[in-house]
Structure formats: C-alpha cells, structure tokens
Chains A and B, each alone.
Chain A
Amino acid sequence: MEDVILEIEGLSKSFGGLQAVSDVSFSIGRNEIVGLIGPNGAGKSTTIRLISGILKPSSGTVRFKGKNITDKPVWDIVNMGLASTFQVVKPFRQLPVAANVMVACLCPRAKRHGEWVKTVELRARDALEFAGIADLALEPASVLSHGDLKRLELARAIATEPELLLLDEPFGGLNPAETSMIARSLKRLHKGGRFGRLHSEGPAMLIVEHKLADLMPILDRVVVINFGRILAVGTPEEIVNNPAVIEAYLGKEVGNLVSGS
C-alpha cells in the first residue's frame, strides 16, 4: 500500500472483565476510504474511540502520520488532523446549530488551515451546507431530529479540516434518499472536492456503518471485526464473498449487495 496515514497495532481494550477489542491491527492509506463493519457489540465504536483518543487502550499503539498518538489528549489529535464523530450524538444542545460547528472552526487547526478570507460564521456555514442542514443554522441544536443531529456531527467533524475522518454510523437516522446523498457527498469530499468553496484536503476515512448497501459502493477496503477481533480484511467484493463473513454477519443479503452495486 502506498502512503499510510494511520497505523494501529495490537490495540486492545477491556471494560472490567469484558474484552471489547482485542489485538486489532490494520492501517489506512492516505487515499483510502475504509469501512469498519461487524455485528452489534463487535467493538467497532470502541475501536473508533480508541483511535480518536477519547478512550485509552489497555495495550497497543496508534500511529498517525508516523507519530505515536496513543497517549495524546483528544484535542491534540484533532489538531493534528484526525477528527471523529460519535455514534451517540452529543451536541451543545442550547447553542444554535451554527454555533455548534463554529466551536470546531475555532480550534487551532481550523484557524490555520481554513480559508482565511472567510469569517468563522461563513466557514461554519460551509460545513453545514455540506451536511445539508444550513437552513437550520439558527435553531438551537435541541430541536433537531436524530438524523439532523447525525449531520451536525458530520459538519462539526469536517469543520476541523481533518486529514483522516472517523465516522461512527454517519447514516444513522437518515432516510434512504438522505443516506445516498450523504454517501455521495463523502465520496466527493474524499476525492479532494470542496465543501462550500473551500479546498479540502480530501481526507482519508474510516466509516462504521450497518447500512451496507449504501456504504459498500464508496469503500476502497473493508475491515470486518467480530467479538473484538479482526475477522477479515479485503476489497468490498472479497468481503461479500468471504464465507466466514457471511456466516458471522452478512447472511443471505450478500448476493443482493453484489448485484446492487
């Protein structure tokens, strides 16, 4: 694989007696969109939170752009260019939607890398337009529906100008039309497209999602985990045809997926 942006090695995490993630190792290239899939409770969210620094691993290392970030605080990691979204949304409920995103636009990295001719307000607006919720900018976050909160999460993460984006179920709460719209936007963003008029870095991505029909088409590679361990790694085609994956997770719907994409 060419240029590697993220490397995780032997990552493990236990909660009390429960081994949520054990000995997970994989890497992500600078120009890749990688899917992280697996059944409920497989340890996907935990893996994301270990990489983003919100949880600290029991053992193992995370290297981002060649630097060991395992022990760094979350904000340092974000300012190095690794942003993530939460599966369970945690917005600033009393602040307007625009202000939620402005907070991310005010982090040191966004100030350095953002389009400097634009005010913080305008940059936040670009991110909201990318996520398709610019019309809600003035409303307090507390009135948003679950799907809109997921989009707000996405807007907040891309507003930090990331080079690697970790998305935990970005399609949660969205209807099929919205899902395919966000999926296409993500693909465009990844290809170095723009949100607003802003040149973006074309971030690499790691996406956790259950809606495989929408996810698979935009992926370059898939990592499957089950019971906290890696079950398989490969291209989407390899994964949907992998007997172990089919048994553990995908079941009969795999055939539909292949023909669908």
Chain B
Amino acid sequence: MGHYLRICYHVIKTEVLEVPGRVIAAMFVIALLAMPLFISQPYVLRILTLTAIFAIYATSWDVLAGFTGQVNLGHALFFGVAAYAGAKLNLSMGLPPWATIPLGGVVAVVVGLIAAMPALRLRGFYLSLVTMALPIILTGVIYIFPSFTGGELGLYGIDRLSNSVVFNYYLTTVIMLVSVYIMYKYTDSESKLIRTGIILHAIREDEITARASGINSTRYKIMAFAVSGFFAGIAGGLYGHYMKIVGPSTLDLFFSFQAILWTIFGGMTTIYGAVAGVYILYPLVEFIRVLPHGEDVRFIFFSGILILTLLFMPEGLTTWVRDKIEIKCPRCKLVNVVTRRNCRACRAPLHLEKDQLGQ
C-alpha cells in the first residue's frame, strides 16, 4: 500500500508538477469539481452547466476541423439533430435522458456519416460550403413539418436531467471531462494507447504519403466525422434535457460559428484550447449581458476579443500561454518548465545562449 502511494507521489511529482500545462489542467479540474462547495447561486451554476455542454460541442468541432482539416461551417447540425432526436425519443416514447442522450449521439453519427459523403469528394472551401448548407436545409424541413417538429416554437416539455441544480452541474461537468479526455486521446499524436492521433496528423500533413504508407485515409476521415458528430450529439442531447426545450436555434448558423470562434480564441488543433475558449468566453459574454446595455454590447465585445486574439495570438490563447511557460528539451523533446536551466530527464541545457549557438 505504502509502496503504491510512493509510486503515485513520484508520478505526480515528476510527470505532473514538472509540467506547467498539466498543473494548469489539474487545477482546472479540481476547481470545476469543487465549484459547488463555494458557489451556490443557481444562476452561476446554470451558466457553468451550459459552459460544460458547449465545451463538449466546441471540442468536437476541433476534432474535425483542427485534426483533419475539414472545416465544418455547419457544426450545429450534429448538435441540433441530436437534440431533436433526443427530445422526440423522450416525448413520444418516454425514454429517460440516460437513454436519449447517447441515442441522440448515435443519430448524430449517422448524420455525420451522411455528411461525410460529400467530404470524400470535396476539399477545403467547397466542403465547408456544403457543411454550412446542411443545417440550413434541415431548419427548412423543421418549418415544413411543424406538427412533428414543433416548427418555430420547437419541442418542449422534455424531461429535465434532474431536479437538483448541483447534480445537473456535476453530471454535465463530468461528462464534459470524460468526453474531452477521450477526444484528447483520440487526437493525441504521442499517445501510445490509441494510435489514431498520429495517423490523423500524417493525413493532415500529406495525404498522398499517408496513403503510400498503407493508410486508408478515407476511412480515417469518415471516422473523424463520426467521432466529432457523436460528441456534438452528446452535447445537443444534454442541452435539450437541460433546457427542456429544443428549437430551431440549435441549428442556427451563428451557433455553428460560435464553435469556431470559441476554438480559434482558445487555440485550434489542441483540444484543450477549445475548452479554455468556451470556459473563458461564454461566462464572460453572459456576464456582460446582465450589465446595462449588455445585450447590445456583448456581440461587439465578442468580435473585438476575437480580432485582438487573431492579431496578437494568432495561434490562440492556450498556445500563446504554453509557449510562454513551457519549453521543449532540444535533445530529448520532453516538455519542461521554462524556468528550468537543464532538462528534467536528460539534463541537456534548455536555453542555449547566443554565444553557445555560435560554437
């Protein structure tokens, strides 16, 4: 027992406390889990619950756009379809949330696979245009069949997740943490657990070489659509059961763009950047909303922040911060705190002085 505790202590000391990024991630998780102990206003918890849901949503966009280069301009499609599917299953068949949310995710996967069909033929800008059109088409369909879809008003009277504000907060937050962890591992090119990350990276850099290495790049792209769709769908299902109403706004174009803006602000192709983007921007914008004239100012504020980000931190906030606090060992490529002089593993000097470089 004491032996294992010592191993644990050793791992935390050498593999977490030595890497600033991991320290921040650990503090973030602890803060999220401890939040209800200190804050009990339902309004704040409600915003944080929605933040968790949107964090899943934005991260799933990054999986597709950041890691496979397929910039989906209509990501709300997955969110909305799953929200509607979950609502329908709940209202007409009486399925409880724990069943409708994953089923909604599965429906989003099916939609994702259908959406992937043009993705196999189209690239870049043309692909993005098609993805943008899909939720618009679906919104039209919803208005055409109001008796089935609730039309403009949407579907309401959906079962809530639970009656406890705190329980809802914990449920969505834990689902968010687990989903983000899975998506992180799925896309991590250094993972030894799941090898998809390295293959996605290779396909993104040079698809021809990846194919010449025996990789069926088409299959990996379709799979990325499915994974991305599934998690966006989970977010949509949670949203429906949390708000108890699902309307056409879940398919809104602006809502699609929101995933992009959050992620670009936080840092694309990182997964954690999308999470950071949502956790900073969404509560901030909601807070501004309750100030005088907030409703009008918040979009100006939102756009202003984005322009500033693109100007001064073109790779996003988290990447900018990471480069300030972490440094890769030039010899063994291990991540170190920027304040260290020698690598924590191989002892190589981390900061080569100018005169050393000349030698």
A residues lining the B interface (CB < 8 Å): 52, 54, 73-76, 78-79, 83-84, 86, 90-96, 99-100, 102-104, 106-110, 119-121, 138, 156-157, 159-160
Contact B195 A75 (CB under 8 A): no
List the B side residues contacting A84 at CB < 8 Å. 212
Within the complex, which residue of A93, A94, A110, A138 is in contact with B333, where a contact is CB–CB below 8 Å?
A138
Expressed in whole angstroms, the Cα–Cα distance for A104 and B333 within the complex equals: 22
Contact B212 A54 (CB under 8 A): yes
Which B158-203 residues sit within 8 Å CB-CB of chain A?
189, 192, 195, 198-199, 201-202
Expressed in whole angstroms, the Cα–Cα distance for A54 and B211 within the complex equals: 9
Contact A156 B213 (CB under 8 A): yes
Contact B216 A103 (CB under 8 A): no
The 4 residue pairs across chains A and B that have the minimum distance between CB atoms:
A107-B214, A78-B214, A104-B213, A74-B211
How many B residues have CB within 8 A of the partner chain? 22
B residues lining the A interface (CB < 8 Å): 189, 192, 195, 198-199, 201-202, 205-206, 208-217, 331-333
Contact A86 B214 (CB under 8 A): no
Within the complex, which residue of B206, B211, B217 is in contact with A92, where a contact is CB–CB below 8 Å?
B206
State the Cβ distance, A170 to closest chain B Cβ, in Å. Answer: 15
A52-B212, A74-B212, A109-B214 given as contacts; is B189 within 8 A of A95 (CB)? Answer: yes
Contact A106 B198 (CB under 8 A): yes
Expressed in whole angstroms, the Cα–Cα distance for A83 and B215 within the complex equals: 12
State the Cβ distance, B206 to closest chain A Cβ, in Å. Answer: 5
Expressed in whole angstroms, the Cα–Cα distance for A95 and B202 within the complex equals: 8
State the Cβ distance, A94 to closest chain B Cβ, in Å. Answer: 6
Contact B205 A92 (CB under 8 A): yes
List the A side residues contacting B195 at CB < 8 Å. 102, 106, 120
Within the complex, which residue of A76, A90, A96, A157 is in contact with B206, where a contact is CB–CB below 8 Å?
A90
State the Cβ distance, B249 to closest chain A Cβ, in Å. Answer: 39
Expressed in whole angstroms, the Cα–Cα distance for A99 and B199 within the complex equals: 9
Contact A94 B205 (CB under 8 A): yes
- A-B contacts, 11 of them at CB < 8 A, read A83-B214, A95-B198, A99-B202, A103-B213, A104-B213, A104-B214, A106-B195, A138-B331, A157-B212, A159-B213, A160-B214
